[in-house]
Amino acid sequence: MPEEEKKKSSVWTWAAVVAVIVVLATVSIWYFTKDTEEESTDIATEQQEDESAVIIPDGWLGFTSTKYGFSLSYPAEYTIAESAVGTLKFTQNGTEMIDMYVFAANGDEEGMMTSQENLHTDDTKGYMIMDSVVQSKVAGVTAKSIYGSFGKNAGVSQTHEGARGIATFFAKNDKLFIFDSYDNGDETAVKNFTDLLGTISF
């Protein structure tokens, strides 16, 4: 074989080898990167599922609001009553422990949240004499809980002036949900209330 043809053959051989190496390297990078991305996605999904997991205490009962599209659980010793407009009242031996009412957000969930926080943290408005404000999550969205003593304008029945308790509100599906809890001297009331909020799902 002429020398010139040998050189051309050698060049093509090396070019083919380099091409094969490049292809193998590209496939390897893609394969290992794909696994890493899938693993990261799986971890992120698991974290989201953990954050949104609903834990229902043993023996609790379930309730679903067809009007507002949410479900929750509550202590078996509570009795729940739903009004025609969808408000809820939880009582224990005839004593009101929790009530819930809803306002339309009309496209301004953030504004409604701010408005309710201002009402509940201003002692002159008659909703609550505030001790503290705690931010948390309910049904995967930001919630505000105001701890203190209720005023004359608080709650559905507006009959809890002076009662110690918690007002928790959050916005979801263009509505503002407000839950009021009255401890009424019951040591388990606060825990029952926070556990109940943790069972809410939409």
Q: Is the pTM above the cut of 0.75?
A: no
Q: What is the pLDDT of residues 48-77, one digit of tens each?
A: 444 457 789 999 999 999 999 999 999 999
**172: Cβ–Cβ under 8 A, 6 or more apart, which residues?**
70, 109, 139, 141, 202
In the sheet that holds 88-92, the strands lie side by side as 79-82, 88-92, 95-104, 175-182, 164-172, 141-150, 128-138
**164: Cβ–Cβ under 8 A, 6 or more apart, which residues?**
148, 149, 150, 182, 183
Q: What is the pLDDT of residues 162-199, one digit of tens each?
A: 999 999 999 999 999 999 999 988 889 999 999 999 99
User: What pLDDT does residue 122 have?
Assistant: 94
Q: Is a pLDDT exceeding 50 seen at residue 36?
A: no
Question: How is 35-99 classified by DSSP, letter by letter?
Answer: HHHHHHHHHHHHHHHHHH-----TT-EEEEETTTTEEEEE-TT-EEEE-TTS-EEEEETTEEEEE
Q: What is the pLDDT of residues 80-121, one digit of tens each?
A: 999 988 899 999 999 999 999 999 999 999 999 999 999 999
Of residues 149 and 51, more confidently modeled: 149
